Amino acid sequence: MDSEVIVIGHINPDTDSICSAISYAALKRKITGNKFRAMRAGQINPETSFVLDRFGVPAPTYLNDVRTQVKDIEFRRIKGVDGGISLKKAWATMRENSEVTLPIVDEKNKLIGLITIGDIAKSYMDVYDSRIIATAKTSYKNIIETLEGQMVLGDPDSYYSEGKVLIAAANPDIMEDYIEEGDLLILGNRYESQLSAIEMKAKCIIVCDGANVSKSIIKMAQQNECTILSTQFDTFTVARLMNQSMPISYFMSTKDLITFTTEDLIDDIRNVMAKKRHRYFPILDKEGKFAGMISRRNLLDARRKKIILVDHNEKSQAVDGIEEAEILEIIDHHRLGSMETISPVYFRNQPLGCTATIVYQMYLENKAEVDPPVAGLLCSAILSDTLVYRSPTCTELDRKSAEELAKIADINVDEYASEMFAAGSNLGSKSPEEIFYQDFKKFTAGDLTFGVGQINSMSQSELVSIKQKLVPYMQKAIQDHSVGMLFFMLTDILENSTELLYQGNGAKELAINAFKLDSNDEILYLKGIVSRKKQVIPPLVTTLQNND
């Protein structure tokens, strides 16, 4: 199984996070030929949805946890068997494939039971009921296959479902005392015994030693609806093999089956396995269909998910379980955060306005063609993150890259940016929670963890409406996140300014000190400040550190 590498952004993805993940995964596929897949760690906001729709690119699949799952390891991907096959065939299958447990599935590949070597042994050693063949509703096809025989008269697809199994070793006079209607008789080439069995309404006779069956016996059997089978085996061997013709569905276990899915976490199933003595456990896929079998031994080879992080390098912003994943690369343009890795990684961090600018440079460095849809995504990310070059984080390389990408994507930067921001700022129908998490990140300074969200809009009236929703919601959000302080930036793109909302003990005082504001101000208005990364986070962190 080839190992897939996941390219993923932060848990509250913005346009840069999503577009850079998609574009970088495409670049890695181009230059390596290996499996790289872009995924997302959170909900896509309206602006990003507009961008993806505009360039006809499907949204990445949502991934909320990168801990190792069953689908990430090598388990036995075997096929299930039909419940109607014989015990003999099941035994042969087990020996051939070195299996101790067979999964039994229906016509839709849904698991209906399990049978083990122990179950087969019990069926052969512990069963003395002469009616067991009928009780198990054994098909004639199974009997023929087990006895390596042939059907002389009857329907091989029908079932033997009543009566007992007998060996006709006595003379016809004595046979009449113990043969009942519906019985199955094992006998030799004696004409009288065959005739007597048919006359006594036997349901089936099995003629052994390869003996011929006369036309008169066949005619008599046909008149009495008696099935005739023939085999080369002698009566002793036939009697010994008959139980092996029964269907495994009669002996399979169906209750309290312990199953796992391909989506289950290894840590969770390991605990269950430790409490049970089973050697193998069935695995089901996302549709509930049988996928294979897993044992404790398979867990020894459990491999961590391989991850490339884009647009972040802090654990608080990463997808759940990141500490248990194998991080291969980090491509980012933010400050260095708290991420720790197991082994050395490729870490590219540049002081640019957008991660997409870095990704575009890597396309150029590898002489890889930038397809128009990818160019559109990268250009959109740069325009979004730099607020169409208005942000102080924007560099000349960001501007140059966006202009080159716009030509490839065949878009007019000013017209397209207006459409994109209009789509992203259409938040009138959104709930406070949806607005809050559209672009929210956590940061750590010393012992304090705080959160900063941001909304960009080209409409002052819309920002006023959003403020009315967010102020009461932030009281709940600070409790949900267990953070010391919350801040939210209402950024007016056209005015190149931000109103900073705050929540938490000491939050207002921190902001006033960080941005040199008047302590009597009720509204914290930040003129010329639009960048969270470059203009808001550094002053907050510096002030916190100076206060320690």
Q: Which of 499, 481, 480 lies closest to 491 in space, CA to CA?
A: 499
Residue carrying the six token digits 């900073």 = 500
Is the pLDDT at 420 greater than 70, yes or no?
Answer: yes
Residue carrying the six token digits 């809009």 = 457
User: Tell me, what's the pLDDT at 1?
Assistant: 39
pLDDT band at 513 (very low <50, low <70, confident <90, very high): very high
Q: Are residues 106 and 54 in the same domain?
A: no
Is the pLDDT at 380 greater than 60, yes or no?
Answer: yes
Per the domain annotation, does 418 fall within a domain?
yes
Q: What is the pLDDT of residues 325-365, one digit of tens each?
A: 999 999 999 888 778 888 889 999 999 999 999 999 999 99
Contacts of 454 (CB under 8 A, 6+ apart): 439, 440, 488, 489, 491, 532
Q: Are residues 28 and 48 in the same domain?
A: yes
As a whole number, mean pLDDT of residues 398-408 equals: 97
Q: Are residues 320 and 417 in the same domain?
A: yes
Q: Are residues 313 and 415 in the same domain?
A: yes
Q: Are residues 396 and 492 in the same domain?
A: no
Q: What is the pLDDT of residues 173-212, one digit of tens each?
A: 777 777 889 999 999 888 888 998 999 999 999 999 999 9
Q: Are residues 310 and 414 in the same domain?
A: yes
User: Tell me, what's the pLDDT at 296?
Assistant: 86
DSSP secondary structure string, 328-395? EEEEE-S---S---SS--EEEE--SS-HHHHHHHHHHHTT----HHHHHHHHHHHHHHTTTTTSTT--
The span from the CA of 13 to the CA of 11, in Å, is 6
Q: What is the pLDDT of residues 515-532, one digit of tens each?
A: 999 988 889 999 999 999
Q: Are residues 419 and 308 in the same domain?
A: yes
Q: Which of 115, 111, 107 lies closest to 89 in space, CA to CA?
A: 115
Is the pLDDT at 548 greater than 70, yes or no?
Answer: no
As a whole number, mean pLDDT of residues 92-101 equals: 89
Q: Are residues 310 and 419 in the same domain?
A: yes
User: Tell me, what's the pLDDT at 533?
Assistant: 85
Instruction: Decide which of 279, 298, 317 is a domain's last residue.
Output: 298
Side chain identity at 500, as an amino acid letter? L
Question: How many CB atoms are located within 10 Å of the residue 445 CB?
Answer: 17
The one-character DSSP state at 317 is G
User: Tell me, what's the pLDDT at 534?
Assistant: 85
As a whole number, mean pLDDT of residues 123-137 equals: 82
Question: Which residues span the domain enclosing 59?
Answer: 5-68+304-424
Around 429, how many Cα atoms within 13 Å sit in the side-chain half-sphere?
4
Q: Are residues 321 and 388 in the same domain?
A: yes
The one-character DSSP state at 4 is P
Per the domain annotation, does 285 fall within a domain?
yes
Helices 372-385 and 355-365, interaxial angle, to 10°? Answer: 140
As a whole number, mean pLDDT of residues 488-500 equals: 92
Q: What is the CATH number of the domain that holds 499?
A: 3.10.310.20
Say how many domains are in the chain. Answer: 4
Instruction: Decide which of 424, 445, 470 is a domain's last residue.
Output: 424
Q: Are residues 326 and 411 in the same domain?
A: yes
The span from the CA of 117 to the CA of 260, in Å, is 22
Is the pLDDT at 256 greater than 90, yes or no?
Answer: no
User: Tell me, what's the pLDDT at 213?
Assistant: 92
Per the domain annotation, does 212 fall within a domain?
yes
- Helix, strand, coil share of the chain (percent; to 5): 40, 20, 35
CB 419 within 8 A of CB 50: yes
User: Tell me, what's the pLDDT at 434?
Assistant: 85
Rg over alpha carbons for the chain, rounded to the nearest Å, is 37
As a whole number, mean pLDDT of residues 446-465 equals: 87
CB 309 within 8 A of CB 330: yes
Q: Are residues 111 and 49 in the same domain?
A: no
DSSP secondary structure string, 461-508? HHHHHHHHHHHHHHHHHHHHHT-SEEEEEEEETTTTEEEEEEESTTHH
**Strand bridging mode 497-503 / 524-527:** antiparallel
Instruction: Decide which of 243, 266, 298 is a domain's last residue.
Output: 298
Side chain identity at 334, as an amino acid letter? H
Q: What is the CATH number of the domain that holds 29?
A: 3.90.1640.10
For the chain, give the mean pLDDT: 91
As a whole number, mean pLDDT of residues 280-302 equals: 90
Share of the chain above pLDDT 70, in %: 98
The CA-CA-CA angle for residues 119, 124, 129, to 5°, reads 110
Element (H, E) at 113: strand 111-116
CB 348 within 8 A of CB 332: yes
Q: Which of 52, 136, 24, 71 lies closest to 377 in space, CA to CA?
A: 52
The CA-CA-CA angle for residues 529, 530, 534, to 5°, reads 80
Is the pLDDT at 370 greater than 70, yes or no?
Answer: yes
Q: Are residues 275 and 349 in the same domain?
A: no
The span from the CA of 13 to the CA of 77, in Å, is 36
The span from the CA of 500 to the CA of 396, in Å, is 28
